[in-house]
Amino acid sequence: MIIAHYAHRLPADYDIGVIRDRAGRRGHLFDAIPELYFKAFLLRERGRFGASQNEYSSLYLWRKDEGFRDFLLDGRTKSVTDSFGRPLIETRFVLDAHKGSSDQPRFLYKQEQDIPIDTDLTSAFAEEIARNREAAKEAGVVASAVSIDAQNWKFTRVILSEQGPTGRGQGTSYQVLYLAQPLLKELPKVVPERELV
């Protein structure tokens, strides 16, 4: 699995209504993309939910790298590059991804953490996977994933949630304008322990 994320900074006086309209018009075009668990159309709006500037972005969770490759080859990026220029696409290899119990994504939280040079990687990977599975069990979570940037040695944690920011170490907050979810229901689901009894 691969996470791909790109962002476009927008001027402070940019009409955010244009972005909301764009997500509403274009979102459904991704509802049946092969190999795509989900694509989140995201907004950071200056002065809301901790954002200091306006930013429009997209975050994808791909089941296979061929899906991401085909997305690049089939011309779907033309709309983005024509409107905003060629973005820097961050790509991460997914260590773990799970479906939560909610179906109402309103926010996405992204958190990055450096992996210190003396860290035992095998243990660190196991801890992050366990942490992600616990995150998937939390109330209001639609999906959670943890990935690795193996060039800069960072973990990236992503949580789709129906719950608004609490300001307690959730990372960068994004409003979800639209969530295309062709394969979201195929992500494995972690069952809370109380449901196992």
Judge residue 138's burial from the number of C-beta atoms within 10 Å of its C-beta, 0-12 exposed, 13-18 middle, 19 or more buried. middle
Helix (H) or strand (E) holding 25: helix 16-26
- Residue-level length of the chain: 197
Q: How far apart are alpha carbons 157 and 125 in whole angstroms?
A: 12
Give 108-127 pLDDT, tens digit per residue: 999 999 999 999 999 999 99
Mean pLDDT of 92-100: 97
Confidence of residue 197 (pLDDT cuts 50, 70, 90): very low
Confidence of residue 83 (pLDDT cuts 50, 70, 90): confident
Q: What is the mean pLDDT of the chain?
A: 91
What is the DSSP code string of 63-102?
Answer: SSHHHHHHHHHTTTTHHHHHHH-PPP-EEEEEEEEEE-S-
pTM of the predicted model over 0.85: yes
Q: What is the pLDDT of residue 10?
A: 87
Spatial contact of 101 and 141, defined as CB atoms under 8 Å apart: yes
9 forms beta bridges with: 55
Q: How far apart are alpha carbons 175 and 18 in whole angstroms?
A: 15
Mean pLDDT of 5-29: 90
Give 147-168 pLDDT, tens digit per residue: 999 999 999 999 999 998 876 6
